[in-house]
Amino acid sequence: MTARVWRAVCVLAFGLAIWLSAGVAEARYASFVMDADTLDVLYAKNADTRNYPASLTKIMTLYMLFDALERGKVTLKTRMKVSQRAAGQPETNIDLRAGQTLSVEDAILALVTRSANDAATVVAEHLAKSEVHFAIAMTEKARNIGMTHTTFRNASGLPNRRQKSTARDMAKLGLRIQRDFPQYYHYFKTEKFTYKGRTYKNHNNLLGRYAGTDGIKTGYTRASGFNLVTSVHSNGHHIIAVVFGGRTAKSRDKHMVSLLNRGFKKAIQIARNRVPAPIPVARPEPGSDAPVTVQLAAAQSSVSDDILQGSGSEDLSDRDWGIQVGAYSSRAPAEQMIRTARTHLKKVLADSTDSVEQITRDHGTVFRSRIFGFTEADARNACAMLVRKHVPCVPVPGETGEEVATMPTGG
């Protein structure tokens, strides 16, 4: 059987699968919005309802590929063979042919921008010999990172009745892929990819349209509706939002913008209302002139309020500001990101101090990577420099430890 005939057979088979899936289940709306730094849930609707993830599945495929890169199993230049089965995957694809090879980096870009089903199968077969075994490994990894309501059956998200996930689980995956592989996450921001003379545009329409968007992935089948996981950094807050079951790509994107705007507004309110704990000062020895414990919560709260309003920063000492270069699931990548920031800001960071802060919430623990010892102006300038180098960065005032929160623009 030729590759062309095999492709036609696969298209018919998957078309039938889509029709059957649509007959037994309609796309059900679900959404979830979280502050990725504090792990506060900002909005949730049907967040634990199991739906078809469609091509959101490829986020996990990329997670597995990034893990293989991290462990040295492959490099970005590794060539992966295209099987007849991979070449036969239906649209969307990059028209791979059996017997060809595809580099790991091109596979990443094809998955991120084109959402290429043929590239997904190539990755699965290279890493696990078969897509079936790869899907088993994907599901096991999902369980390990807390995606308790997710089951994978393939690497692409093409229709399968038993491949389901939830909005909450996809938010967890969107968070973990950034924390665990910050050195590779920048690929999700790629707007265009050229392969063999053809240029493919990223399906994520929020890139370049909603300020601070850095990824991550769209998905669609008839049974799933239009899905989207979005990550946005804006002046002190990092929000991850998920939508399942949109009626059209346009309405899904419009709804996502609404969720993000509401999410940032609520994150600001939470930051304002979160009163820092009193800072204890050691009690003096009897007869000593040393100060006793001072309750600073109220004063600090007012300073934080001024900062949130965009004024009053002159009340902080000249070099009390810092920068945050991400929040991660373990201490090692948090420390690594501080070292990465230092390589880009050697002169600026001469008199600064590193800080990895562990924050625990009901939904898990994060390690925030921070460097202190800046003026406010220097902190903002340092972040501008790092963002240009694809390093996540937000300025933070050191006295309160609260991020500066401002509303994003975009739409």
58 counts as catalytic: yes
115 counts as catalytic: yes
CA distances from residue 297 to 129, 246, 267 in whole angstroms, order as listed: 58, 44, 20
The tokens for 326 are: 């991400």
Is residue 377 packed enough to be buried (19+ CB in 10 Å), middle (13-18) or exposed (0-12)? exposed
Query: Is the separation of the CB atoms in 317 and 400 below 8 Å?
Result: no
CB atoms within 10 A of CB 389: 13
Amino acid at 192: K
The tokens for 215 are: 């990824």
| DSSP-derived secondary structure letter, 284 | P
Query: What residue has token string 């290279």?
Result: 126
Nearest Cα neighbor of 326 from 260, 407, 222, 231 is 231
Q: Is residue 410 left, alpha or beta, with left meaning phi > 0 and alpha meaning psi from -120 to 50?
A: left
Query: What residue has token string 């309501």?
Result: 149
> Which of 55, 83, 224, 352 is flagged as catalytic?
55
Residues in a beta bridge with 32: 44, 242
> Which of 21, 31, 58, 156 is flagged as catalytic?
58
Amino acid at 71: R
> Which of 21, 115, 165, 231 is flagged as catalytic?
115
Nearest Cα neighbor of 345 from 317, 378, 369 is 378
103 counts as catalytic: no
Q: Which amino acids are annotated catalytic?
A: 55, 58, 115
